[in-house]
Amino acid sequence: MRALAKTGPAPGLELVDVPVPRADGDRVLIRVLRTGVCGTDLHIDAWDDWAARTVRAPLVLGHEFVGEVAAVGPDVTRTAVGDIVSGEGHLVCGTCRNCMAGRRHLCIRTVGLGVHTDGAFAEYVALPESNVWVHRHEIDLDVAAIFDPFGNAVHTALSFPVLNEDVLITGAGPIGMMAAAIAAHAGARHVVVTDVSEPRLELARKLGATVALNVAETRIGDVLPGLGMTEGFDVGMEMSGRADALQDMIATMSPGGRIAILGLPTGDVPVDMSTVVTRMLTLRGIYGREMYETWYAMSVLLQGGLDISPVITHRFGYRQHAEAFATARSGRCGKVVIDWTRETL
């Protein structure tokens, strides 16, 4: 089968022929239909310091996907050939303290699909049945392909109650945009999204942001009076991984405010702990999705009318992978999807 792989410890990816995985035991073989390009994939493509420390080539990339079940192993009981499915890309051990307690998203021995083991940028991928999410209602395939980052957005946006609250989201990448849509759908009073990319800020407005603010031109505090806000934001969602974004967020939170942090910084982040303490702020780290409560919430949100489709701005065939990656890296787009049923679009 054709697959997009990191073939050696250097920048770049190649389309190669690799064996089709087997549907042994409890594993499900899935014919891949669409994949989403993630920031993690961009790091592996570029072969930066993180990728060089983390990835062992050769490796098939990709963890955001939707596909059709092609075969099931003899121990599979709930998934059938022909099902349309997405996959949870965090493969957990099942035996550590957190796994045994049902907190699988906290597994200390998590293995990442497309990072530590061959992933979904291929014509077929195989996963344990426990990592397969069957779509029981009609769903757009492009949206189903980005269920993984959609889950990150849901996990972050619903970490704290947002009904009637004022919400600040720093970072208008695809996950930040989806978080804005979720917060608005869940009843937030105001949703302020910050970034420096005007194309992404415009997308954030389409997805439900009350204000999409270019922080290269305007300070966050300057928009509060026009929104009738006098004490700061109730809920913050840090999506950018930038130290200055977290610092600005902490400075504009109301007393008792709560911050969910998804963005991964590349270095140390100085934090004004005196403000955290005296305003009694809560900071919570977010990684991945709660398995599988977040997946259930994703499906229900879509059934309830949430529309995240505007976040998908570009689509490519699998032979156009270089163009797809360049587009995703540009910072002037939303989510980029690759169609594995077509060479070009």
Annotation-wise, does 333 bind a ligand?
no
Which of the following is catalytic: 35, 40, 170, 210? 40
* Res 175: pLDDT: 97
* Res 89: pLDDT: 95
Which of the following is catalytic: 7, 35, 43, 341? 43
**pLDDT < 70 regions, the chain:** none
Annotation-wise, does 139 bind a ligand?
no
Tell me which residue of 268, 293, 272 sits closest to 281, measured CA to CA.
Answer: 272
Annotation-wise, does 148 bind a ligand?
no
* Res 292: pLDDT: 87
* Res 311: pLDDT: 97
Sequential DSSP letters for 232-283: -EEEEEE-S--HHHHHHHHHTEEEEEEEEE----SS-----HHHHHHTT-EE
Annotation-wise, does 342 bind a ligand?
no
Asked if 205 and 212 touch (Cβ cutoff 8 Å), the reply is yes
Domains and CATH numbers, the chain: 2-146+308-339 (3.90.180.10), 151-285 (3.40.50.720)
Annotation-wise, does 96 bind a ligand?
yes
pTM for the structure as a whole: 0.94
* Res 266: pLDDT: 80
* Res 214: pLDDT: 97
Asked if 245 and 260 touch (Cβ cutoff 8 Å), the reply is no
In angstroms, rounded to a whole number, what is the distance separating the alpha carbons of residues 108 and 3? 29
* Res 267: pLDDT: 84
Express each pLDDT in 151-209 by its tens digit. 999 999 999 999 999 999 999 999 999 999 999 999 999 999 999 999 999 999 999 99
- Quick check: is 282 catalytic? no
- Quick check: is 314 catalytic? no
